[in-house]
Amino acid sequence: MNLICVHWGVNMVERIDIGNKCVECNEDTSFGSGRFVNRIPASVDTSCGDKEYEIEGYLCPECNQMDCDRCDNLIAVDEDISPYDIGLEDGDFDRVHFDCLTNEEKNRLEYNNG
């Protein structure tokens, strides 16, 4: 673990590098862990009392999932669909699964990305 102190104005932020661990769940993301593919470099800011920390490591694919606005399931990395993807400026959702699109929305997606 590398500890580096960084001065930002009058505050002191301690930077902690946790290597190949996920900054959210602390699971190993190194090659052979099953979490190496689709991991992304990440950092999380946190504090304890008056001390501030920046934790650096990776975000594993499981922690990088987002909630679907139409069902209770999580959407995997790069599998989300936004209103913009189907040619709408606005919609009744921000991110959904393909299976959660209406038939009309699926047709628009196919037409726009054809």
Span of 3-7, 18-22, 40-44, 95-99 with lowest mean pLDDT: 3-7
Domain identity same for 50 and 94: no
What angle is formed at CA 55 by the lines to CA 96 and CA 75, rounded to 5 degrees? 10
Q: Give the structural domain span for 100.
A: 66-113
- Same domain flag for 52 and 98: no
Overall number of domains in the chain: 2
Instruction: Please name the residues in contact with 78: beta carbons below 8 A apart, sequence gap of 6 or more.
Output: none
Residue 55 and residue 37 in one domain: yes
Q: Are residues 24 and 50 in the same domain?
A: yes
pLDDT tens digits for 67-112? 999 998 999 888 999 999 998 888 889 999 999 999 999 999 999 8
- Which phi and psi angles does 47 have, rounded to 5°? -145, 160
- pTM of the shown model: 0.67
State how beta strands 11-22 and 40-48 pair: unpaired
